[in-house]
Structure 1
Amino acid sequence: MKNELSKNICRYRKEKGLTQEELAQKLGLTFQAVSKWETAQTLPDLTILPQLAGIFEVSIDRLLGFAAQEKPVTIYEEEYKSPGYYWGIQPSKMCLEVLELMPPVKRLKLLDIGCGEGKDSVFFAKVGYDVTAFDISDAGIEKTKILAHKAGVKVKVFKADLLDYRLDCKFDILFSSGVLHYIKPQYRTEIFNNYKEHTNPNGIHAFNVFVKKTFIPPAPEREPTAAKWITGELFTHYADWLIHECSEVIFDCNSSGISHRHAMNKILAQRLEGEI
């Protein structure tokens, strides 16, 4: 918790455009105190947490690094509680592209960001990757564990909020399918920089995002916490990486039982030596 709190104080301070001295003035403290919090040398007094949370406009739980539960975070929590698998158990096409681009001929650490019910995570584990995965849904995490157990593979899966969680160790592959629209625009650069910094040399990112098109009506789910990307926005985060694929497709979907369409951008990018 100490490291999470330190990182979050630094992150939320910068998001508010405050210097350490300006934050300290708001709290009636010295900037050295704030500096020590952000380097995890000391922790703020418990009585200061409400004031900090108020300045940053976040809950104390979020400040401490816990997934906030004061309101529903995903509309799929109830769907995932049903006996079947909402998204099925067949891996997405992008899994096969990762397998072709970076096969597990040696131990490769892979992170599935927003694993849902685990179909892609379990596929990656079955073909030989060392898989870690996270999701915000308790039911999704439980289903991932069940699917992995049935397949006889190990997936290290845990609960985390996409907006709060930051990587603190490196991976060879970062993968995310149909999830990154939950990252609000103002957080995207900071989160993607964290993902890039925690990718090993020659590692890859395989991501797709839903993009907004004026000629495509909103999806029937109307997810309250989603924020679509614009065409090409995803690609701008990888100007310093080798791009193996950047593409846009429009496809039909029936996930909600109502026929609709999506537009999606996909990127397969590789970090070469010396790049971040």
Structure 2
Amino acid sequence: MKDKLARNISLYRKEKGLTQEELAQILGLSFQAVSKWENAQSMPDISLLPLLSATLEVSIDKLLGYTSQDRPISIYEDVYKTQEYYWGTEPNKACYQVLQLMPPTRHLKVLDIGCGEGKDAVFMARNGYEVSALDISDAGIEKTRRLAEKNGVHVNVFKADIQDYRLNTHYDIIFSSGVLNYIKPDFRKEIFDHYKHYTNEGGLHVLNVFVNKPFIAPPPEKESNSYKWHSGELLSHYHDWLIKDSSEVVFDCNSSGIPHKHAMTKLIAQKITVLA
């Protein structure tokens, strides 16, 4: 808990635009105290949590790393509760590129960030990868488990918010489709540097993001916590990796029952050992 609290204090302090010294002044402490919290050297006294929560405008539960269970936190929560699979069960085409570029001829660990109903995570587990997957939707997690069971495979699926979840183990492949737009722009560099650090040498990142285009109307879903990317922005985080694919497509979508279009950038990048 100490490490998670440390990350969250730092994350939400920066989100509020406060320095360590400014936060310390509000709390009536020295900035060294805040620095120790954020470095997981100590924890705030329990009596400070209400003021800390109010100052950072985040609940104590979320500050401690617990996601609220009493309200929908994804616009897909209700549609995932149906028997049908909202996104279908056919894997993303990028999954086949993973098979081509890094086939499971040896033990390989995959992390699917924002697995939805599990179609991609289950596909990769069926093909011999050790798969972990996370999502913020309870219904999506349950459907991922059911789909894995139906296919006779295991997926280590768990609930997490990509804004504040951080890895604690290395992976060979990090995969994410359609969810990275929930990361606020100010925190993208820190989060992607973290993902890169926890990727084994030779590992792959296979990702896509929705990008802004002036000739495409905004999607009908009104998501206040979704933040579009710009063309080339995802690629900029991987200037030190080998780029296998960096393409952009415009496609039709009917996910909300209203026909519309999206522009999306795909990136496949490989971590290569730096020569001395």
TM-score computed with the length of structure 2 as normaliser: 0.93
CA distance in 1, matches of 2:34, 2:211: 39
**What is the CA distance between 1:111 and its match in structure 2?**
0.3
**What is the CA distance between 1:210 and its match in structure 2?**
0.7
CA distance in 2, matches of 1:150, 1:69: 27
Query: Structure 1 residue 210 and structure 2 residue 213: aligned?
Result: no
Matched with 1:142 is: 142
Listed one character per residue, the Cα deviations across residues 178-215 of structure 1 (whole Å, up to 9, x for unaligned) are: 11111121221121111111111111100001111111
Going from structure 1 to structure 2, the CA distance change for 1:195 and 1:53 (only over 3 Å counts) comes to same
CA distance in 1, matches of 2:184, 2:10: 19
Structure 1 gaps of 5+ residues are none
CA distance in 1, matches of 2:247, 2:20: 41
**What is the CA distance between 1:19 and its match in structure 2?**
4.5
Matched with 2:38 is: 38
Matched with 2:198 is: 198
Contact 1:67 1:164 in 2 (8 A): no
CA distance in 2, matches of 1:202, 1:267: 16
Aligned to 2:261, the other structure's residue is in SS state strand
Listed one character per residue, the Cα deviations across residues 59-118 of structure 1 (whole Å, up to 9, x for unaligned) are: 222211122457532111000001110000010101001111111111111100000000
Matched with 1:177 is: 177
Contact 1:121 1:131 in 2 (8 A): yes
Matched with 1:7 is: 7
Structure 2 gaps of 5+ residues are none
Which stretch has the larger CA shift, 72-81 or 222-231?
222-231
Matched with 1:232 is: 232
Which stretch has the larger CA shift, 137-146 or 181-190?
181-190
CA distance in 2, matches of 1:241, 1:47: 46
Listed one character per residue, the Cα deviations across residues 197-242 of structure 1 (whole Å, up to 9, x for unaligned) are: 1111111100001111111112222333211111111111111111
Matched with 2:114 is: 114
CA distance in 2, matches of 1:112, 1:8: 22
Mapping of residues 52-201 of structure 1, within 5 Å: 52-68=52-68, 72-201=72-201
Aligned to 2:131, the other structure's residue is in SS state strand
Contact 1:170 1:199 in 2 (8 A): yes
Equivalent residues, number = 275
The code of the aligned residue for 1:263 comes to A
Which stretch has the larger CA shift, 111-120 or 27-36?
27-36
CA distance in 2, matches of 1:76, 1:225: 13
CA distance in 2, matches of 1:190, 1:16: 16
Which stretch has the larger CA shift, 115-124 or 13-22?
13-22
Aligned to 2:5, the other structure's residue is in SS state helix
Q: Which runs of 4+ in 1 moved over 6 A?
A: none
Contact 1:62 1:164 in 2 (8 A): no
Contact 1:180 1:209 in 2 (8 A): yes
CA distance in 1, matches of 2:207, 2:102: 15
Matched with 2:24 is: 24
Which stretch has the larger CA shift, 112-121 or 247-256?
247-256
CA distance in 2, matches of 1:235, 1:71: 35
CA distance in 1, matches of 2:10, 2:259: 44
CA distance in 1, matches of 2:26, 2:220: 44
CA distance in 1, matches of 2:71, 2:225: 11
Going from structure 1 to structure 2, the CA distance change for 1:186 and 1:72 (only over 3 Å counts) comes to farther
Aligned to 1:246, the other structure's residue is in SS state strand
CA distance in 2, matches of 1:197, 1:269: 14
CA distance in 1, matches of 2:220, 2:68: 25
